[in-house]
Amino acid sequence: MLSLIGGVIFVVALYYVGATIVWYIWIRNKEVI
């Protein structure tokens, strides 16, 4: 049970980091264009 919660938190954190990187790159590309 505890490992399941840890896995969910890990996936959410990974998704959040990925979304932040994509958003940062998209903003930079938008500013360049």
Give the single-character DSSP code of 25: H
Q: Which helix (H) or strand (E) holds 16?
A: helix 2-32
Q: Hey, CA dihedral for 27, 24, 21, 25, is it positive or negative?
A: positive
Amino acid letter at 24? Y
- Please give the mean pLDDT across all residues of the chain: 91
Angstrom distance (rounded) from CA 12 to CA 4: 12
How large is the C-alpha radius of gyration of the chain? 14
What domain range includes position 22?
Answer: 1-32
pLDDT at 27 over 70: yes
| Total count of domains within the chain | 1
Query: Considering the entire predicted model, what is its pTM?
Result: 0.58
pLDDT on residue 24: 95
Angstrom distance (rounded) from CA 28 to CA 26: 5
pLDDT in tens, 2-25: 789 999 999 999 999 999 999 999
